[in-house]
Structure 1
Amino acid sequence: MDIFVLASGSKGNMTLVKNENTSFFIDAGISYQKIESKMKAYGEDIDSIDTLFLTHEHADHILGLKSLLKSGSIKRVYLTQGTLDALNGEIKPFLPEYTIIRADEKFYHFDFEITPILLSHDAKEPVGFIFDDKNKKFVLLTDTGYVDQSYVDILKNADCYLLESNHDPVKLLNSKRPFYLKQRILGITGHLSNEDAARLMNQLIEKEAIWIVAHISEDCNDIFDIEKAVVDQFEDPSKVTIYYASQTSLPRIKL
């Protein structure tokens, strides 16, 4: 399984996953021009990707959705009913065949067993995903204020996690952002802090695994803060290999 992060953060989010049998996008939060450019940089053909998974309807996850659908290459979309209902009228006419998915209900796409995970975010029906092709297991969890403990067992022991580590709470509180925005980010329907993310990852990783650190705040976080949280929260920090995703970095993970 190969994982390509095209973009991550408040300015846009998009990921490509592929194995020997299929390939698909997760979200489309950057412009079509940027999608083309990033795919070219990876040496991948945008027109060869015919399937899209959506996590939720916020702009940083669907900014390029209309243009991507208009291009005609996407033939199948997986999304929740809440996400479908929240899409604006300009996008819906371009939706191809779509499948409504529900949290905790497994389904299959080619040789992938996929489990949607209910997230706590201020969207209509946001989900993360577990992608398991029987050879490797990949978990994508962004955006969420917390992850319910009932999910810990099924999330454990993946080979790779794309999990947000959004902010350092002290930096966020001392920032010039409006107080209502600080409350939103810190709340249970906001985003995971560095400490929360590292604590969760310590629970999930029992063997060596990769953590693609995602959705990093550009002004209320930095790599030093994230790494400090890992050292503070992990019983054994050596069991995790970290990659950082942003708007400009191009992490490619081959599992």
Structure 2
Amino acid sequence: MSLFFSVLASGSKGNATYIETDQHRFLVDAGVSGKQMEDLFKQIDRSPKDLSGILVTHEHSDHIKGLGVLARKYQLPIYANEKTWQAMESHIGDLAIDQKNIFRMEAVHSFGGLDIQSFGVSHDAAEPMFYEFHYKGKKLVIITDTGYVSERMKSIIHNADAYIFESNHDVHMLRMGRYPWSVKRRILSDVGHVSNEDAAIAMSEVMGDRTKRIYLAHLSQDNNMKELARMSVSQTLQSKGILVGEGFDLYDTDPKTATSLVAV
């Protein structure tokens, strides 16, 4: 069996990604309500009760909103680093001690044949980190919520078969939009979110001959649009000599509609 995944929800209001192998099923973040999580699982004909656990990237509400509810209802183990646990515990409610697991940054945990590696990103959270998944020679990377993609990050996530990659905002829309300047400055900073163009530049430097799918993720509800993100990323990649549709494709994600469950 292959490594399967679905981006259940993605955007500034809530994020969750489902990962499946023949032996294990994981959720990365649970950033929408418990009821919404149930509905999203139904869209891909799966159930949270079958999860092996939930991996947490950081404590912001759009990543942990439904975490406590889901974990308590289905008695699921949760994995996060120590600083993230400290930052989120008061927001997710009581959990049994055996549900609380430490997944340190820059570590690898193995579940059967599935190896999950964590890596740090640059975001204004306690100790934000994301994950890449290795299974039977396939590699899936999730990287959102970072103000920039460092050389170290690039070396870790290089040449994956599939990426779920932040393409948060259009810089012009953000600068001209309704947000107060303090919020705009935070988003544009090195601990904020990457723009469409910066995401594409990073993609051009990490994608390789095995890369077949790139999902544009964590789009701002106010400062981006799917069509604009896809166009901006495509044009920037083209300026680097990389043509969408020639060996790989771009895919949209959505806050309320899960992407199809596909094999890496």
TM-score, length-scaled by structure 1: 0.94
Question: Equivalences for 1:187-202 in 2 at 5 Å?
Answer: 187-202=189-204
Structure 2 partner of 1:12: 14
- Give ranges in structure 2 of 5+ residues lacking alignment: none
Residue among 223, 226, 239 paired with 1:223:
226
Q: Distance in 2 between matches of 1:90 and 1:153?
A: 34
Aligned-pair CA distance for 1:117: 1.1
Aligned-pair CA distance for 1:92: 5.2
Identity %: 33
Question: Equivalences for 1:1-255 in 2 at 5 Å?
Answer: 1-74=3-76, 76-89=77-90, 91=92, 93-95=94-96, 96-207=98-209, 208-234=211-237, 235-237=241-243, 238-252=246-260, 253-255=262-264
Q: Distance in 2 between matches of 1:69 and 1:21?
A: 20
Q: Tell which has more relative contact order, 1 or 2 (C-alpha 8 A, sep 6+).
A: 2
Aligned-pair CA distance for 1:100: 1.7
Residue 90 of structure 2 aligns to a residue in which SS?
A: coil
Kept in 2: contact 1:160–1:209 (CA 8 A):
yes
Moved more, 60-69 or 242-251: 242-251
The letter for the 1-side match of 2:263 is K
The letter for the 2-side match of 1:162 is I
| Closer/same/farther in 2, CA of residues 57 and 19 from structure 1, 3 Å limit | same
Kept in 1: contact 2:40–2:257 (CA 8 A):
no
Kept in 2: contact 1:50–1:73 (CA 8 A):
no
CA offset digits 1:175-225 (Å, max 9, x no partner): 011110100100000001001111111111122421111111122112332
Give the length in aligned residue pairs: 254
Q: Quote the RMSD (CA, aligned, Å).
A: 1.6
The letter for the 2-side match of 1:199 is I
Q: Distance in 2 between matches of 1:214 and 1:40?
A: 21
Kept in 2: contact 1:120–1:146 (CA 8 A):
yes
TM-score, length-scaled by structure 2: 0.91
Q: Distance in 2 between matches of 1:56 and 1:85?
A: 11
